[in-house]
Structure 1
């Protein structure tokens, strides 16, 4: 057959991801904090967008859906109420009257929020935000720099101290080698070691240690309790971690009573002294979806209106400005802003509906968990949920990322309900891996001190009593994942507890 060029017409369908479509997909996997930050940026960028004032009272009542699950009707977006966070001076001994703070201004000219009156009520009707009165914890680096400046007089020693402070991790341990500090600064290793010895006397006790043993030794030395016997105990912390009390008694050279006293002293020490100065904010987990029992025996699934931003498109402002605009570039800018605003409101609406739809299907499939607990958690995959609600697996994966569900059983991440299946030994329904982990923990917690269950025994008990076909290596993997020690270590622990009792 001769080869020759030719023209052909072919018809095919392709999906092109536009920038707005890609942005809509990205919105699905954003947490409520990330979504709020994104919407705030759009409000600053787009003059046609504005935040709608409103509250949770405007949410429409729930309406029932199929399969016994009730689903609240979605309100496109929900406003987040803004609170005034200004506060008066509250320091004792200061005169906070307006005349003394601003002698030339009258009360009517100032937005000053006065404190509570004698009845405990506030003039504005709302108490000030308590977060404004919480004292900030000092940074570990600042705390140590202040002490180093007082302890060290030579500028070269202060420079070494600064590099050592920069080499601390959040727990207060020194993570850099002294040789590298000496080479970097061109200093003698003996000088770096001398500065380190001074810094190890700073507060909190145990700071600048390079190991757990050194951290505990510094704190014991501070308490004048680092005797030779205690030093030998510190040198054999490995035996203590293994609960090898017989080997520990032999290595330390003491009796059980002395060992119990020394272990009591160790429990009073702080192995991570730097964490007391951790200034990173801790954000409370806020649920995206609420699940509560319905009046007809089903479940009501509704979005958390407090975490959903509510935005509106100001079309009247667009119409007013468009009439007065003559420049083509300005008209193009306004048109782009209108299109972006319409897209954002539509995307937020679609995102909320998708989250609610996926959450309702999760509740439907995990009804046994909500009623009876973790032992009835069913194995569930992204594909099972996606097929039930006619969506793609990737969409379900994005929706459940960084989303939390408040249920009568507690607050859970949506990803928690997706577990692998473990086959049943009797041919019945499969078991959830999370339920198997829970059962393993129950068996270990209930084991007597004179009959510690090995991994083989646990696998046999699960197979015979629960009908769960699980291998020994799977039991070992789940046990290690729950930070449960092996049967040898558990036997030592329980024997030690029995001897103490």
Structure 2
């Protein structure tokens, strides 16, 4: 066999996406702010486009077309806008190419179903150093810790909402009782959510004031004795350098007081400051939920959150009157690109509405009773119900928000895990299964620790169908040792 360079013909097939479909998928993934920035760039490149600012830019035909689309959205008439638009091919991809939206937010492969997958501009490659230098936000740092805790599902859901109430320093400055009442959570659940939030790293997060922040950190270091508690209660004297009254109140000598003050200076009074990434933009919800006169819920898109672009017909007519063949060809290309962009924006709005409507239908208990009534729901359940691909639902729910009488929530907030029941009935939340596992282990005979297989059997007897590896995973997330380790630990505690 001869080895060397040669020219040969090869025939192959590959799945590709048209540029217009790539544009539609990019818009679907974008947040509102990213969409506004993207449209500004498109208007700058395309002279026949203009941002709809409420003026008389569009012709009467364009205005009528926009009003028809608005009426279709208000009716939730989803099917008509899909005609002639190839949304069924959202998972096709071009080989050896990548796509991105405004930076290294992630990557998508054909058919990928990652909830956080993002598309990037064709051929764009993220700078590795730029990616590594990005700072994680406080929210992204806390939510995984809350999600991995063994607390009940309602407690974890409420704690996740409290994360959005933290200020830049990491303090919780809201009225917890009022917030719990608005979300339909009793005072005990609100207190548990605050405790869960304060158990996260960095220590001091979720404190209501400076005293509580310092107290949390001292307790973690096992330095919160009565003398230190007195010093924390008299921070005003410490700030004013009134040391003599402090020594008398704490009952310590001068050297001990200096060591206590040095210990306090080593604490972090602003535990959330290390995660500050800049000025946070205000959230404008894409979907509005309101109660209707029939006792149900009406789902609407927020017109203020759905940017629109129009054709600058006056400019098109002015250039078209020149009669130049090159100008007319250029205008034709610009007009086609503008039409595709407008259709992509229409499809984006209606797809968001369609997904949000199904979310509200499945999570109606939350809107009626509060966070404790959240039901297990996955991307696949929503996708199958509305006839879309799971990856499309993932893109729709990324960085999109919903406003209702209980507050503003990210669409991803409503997706929770569930465990199938043995009899094929309603699913059981994963948090409830973890609680059952913990209860079984707490009640076990010290001389006969329950193995993971035995726990699986007991759970199936109670109606929960779960695999042994799932029990092991949940047990490890709750920092519970294996049955053999528990048996040795209990034997040592009893002096055997």
Give TM class, smaller chain: 0.3 to 0.5
* TM-score (structure 1 length as normaliser): 0.47
Structure whose CA Rg is larger: 1
* TM-score (structure 2 length as normaliser): 0.47
